[in-house]
Amino acid sequence: YPLHSDINITSHGADWYWAVTAVMAVSTFVFIGLSYRAHRSRRIFHYITASITLVATCAYFTMASNLGYTPIAVEFARSDPKVAGIYREIFYVRYIDWAITTPLLLLDLLLTCGLPWPTILYTILLDEVMIVTGLVGALVASSYKWGYFVIAMIALFGIFFNVAVVGRNYANVINRTVGRTFLLCGAWTMGLWFIYPIAWGLCEGGNVISADSEAVFYGVLDILAKPVFGGLLLFGHRNIDPATLGL
Ligand code: RET
């Protein structure tokens, strides 16, 4: 079985991955630093947010080192369609990152609007379905991969409903500050999350753009969805007492 892949990041792609690694690491220290401004009992959002960028630091360190990938056939030999021809570097480490960090992002968001625990837990379950089917789809070489894509999209719409409709109603009932913070962070998150399947379709799915372009596309998305989201969320929480959220 070939461990060799034909479509890989270049040294420019690796440089960019190192830059994102640095952004994630610095953000982690900033979020931990900000936590000292709050009493220990009121640091839950700092800790969740710092954990997200810490995990991302590890994932980006791995990709910058050109590790955490496996070659997947993206084109097949003309003579025999059952024999794979061209292999692309598929970073499965992304999905290990997302399996840990997307539930934490949802926790940040859904604790902010005071959703009941059962609703938070089943939103996180939908999220795990989305990430794991996305991973399987990325690793499957045949067009079955698009079946997994469809399942992940259905799960994403379920998450969207719980954030945009259920969560927003709960946030607005608590008070105006919570309502506004949730609206900003919720809209930011859901807007970004719907761009991930587009990136997947162009990279793992359709092999349309290069591995370096993939690095830039996912890297920009991850910076906006993790450190920038975390900054917005903690800024919103500066005037919110966790006790008003039942925390
Ligand atoms: C996949 C592929 C299949 C279809 C869908 C996907 C959605 C992924 C999402 C990822 C979010 C990642 C974040 C990372 C951290 O910053 C798995 C790409 C719907 C929404 C926010």
Ligand 1 centre and the CA of 132: distance in Å?
10
Which backbone phi and psi does 79 adopt, to 5 degrees? -65, -40
Indicate if ipTM > 0.95. yes
Q: Which atom of ligand 1 is nearest to the CA of 153?
A: 19
The residues, ordered by sequence, that sit 6+ positions from 99 with a Cβ below 8 Å of its Cβ are 128, 131, 132, 135
Residue among 106, 102, 231, 109 at smallest CA distance from 182: 109
Residue 225 in contact with ligand 1 by CB distance below 6 A = yes
- Over the stretch 129-159, which tens digit does the pLDDT of each residue have? 999 999 999 999 999 999 999 999 999 999 9
- Over the stretch 37-82, which tens digit does the pLDDT of each residue have? 988 888 999 999 999 999 999 999 999 999 999 999 998 877 776 7
Residue 102 in contact with ligand 1 by CB distance below 6 A = yes
Ligand 1 centre and the CA of 2: distance in Å?
28
Pocket-testing residue among 131, 146, 202, 221, ligand 1, by greatest number of atoms within 8 A of Cβ: 131
| Structure-token match 């840990």, residue found | 100
Ligand 1 centre and the CA of 197: distance in Å?
6
Residue 43 in contact with ligand 1 by CB distance below 6 A = no
- Over the stretch 160-210, which tens digit does the pLDDT of each residue have? 999 999 999 999 999 999 999 999 999 999 999 999 999 999 999 999 999
Torsion of CA 83, 89, 92, 97, to 10 degrees: -160
Pocket-testing residue among 28, 52, 63, 130, ligand 1, by greatest number of atoms within 8 A of Cβ: 130
DSSP letters along 79-122, please? S-TTSEEEEEEEETHHHHHHHHHHHHHHHHHHHHTT--HHHHHH
Give the pLDDT band of residue 2 (cuts 50, 70, 90): very low
Residue 193 in contact with ligand 1 by CB distance below 6 A = yes
Q: Which atom of ligand 1 is nearest to the CA of 149?
A: 3
Residue 53 in contact with ligand 1 by CB distance below 6 A = no
Work out the mean pLDDT of the chain and round it to a whole number: 95
